[in-house]
């Protein structure tokens, strides 16, 4: 099982929105096989809490304009790791220190990388 074309398109939209707010190192992982509750995890980093909030708000706005509302939005208050659940797409906006510490890419290393550029 692989991520659907629609979810890949959403991941590209979210990544574009994140990069507009200078998000670093966007990586999309196809987690559809081992996870089952989502198809793609999009991981992006920010340098500080203000930037992380700005990235999350830009992603949320772009997705809303495309007709997709976040089912769950967590972590915006502390702005160290904002999780945005759009159903088949889960966006992780992480402070670079948290991203390095939790190393989600390593945890999901068996999952294929989705091209989002």
Delineate the domains of the chain, giving CATH numbers in brackets: 5-114 (3.30.460.10)
Phi, psi (5° rounding) for residue 65?
-60, -30
Residue 100 has pLDDT above 70, yes or no: yes
Give one DSSP letter per residue of 89-104, joined into a string: EEEEEEEHHHHHHH-H
The model's pLDDT over 76-96, given as tens digits with 9 standing for 90+, comes to 999 999 999 999 999 999 999
What are 7's two structure tokens? 């979810």
Contact 84, 93 (CB under 8 A): yes
Q: Please report the pLDDT score of residue 56 as a whole number.
A: 98
Residue 65 neighbours by CB distance under 10 Å: 10
């Amino acid at each position: 099982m692989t991520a659907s074309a629609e979810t890949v398109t959403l991941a590209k939209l979210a990544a574009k929105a994140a990069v507009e707010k200078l998000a670093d190192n966007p990586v999309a992982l196809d987690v559809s096989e081992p996870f089952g509750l989502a198809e793609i995890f999009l991981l992006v980093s920010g340098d500080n809490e203000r930037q992380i909030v700005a990235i999350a708000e830009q992603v949320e706005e772009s997705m809303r304009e495309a007709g997709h509302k976040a089912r769950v939005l967590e972590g915006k208050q502390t702005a160290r790791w904002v999780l945005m659940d759009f159903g088949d797409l889960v966006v992780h906006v992480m402070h670079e220190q948290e991203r390095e510490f939790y190393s989600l890419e390593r945890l999901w290393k068996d999952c294929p990388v989705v091209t989002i550029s």
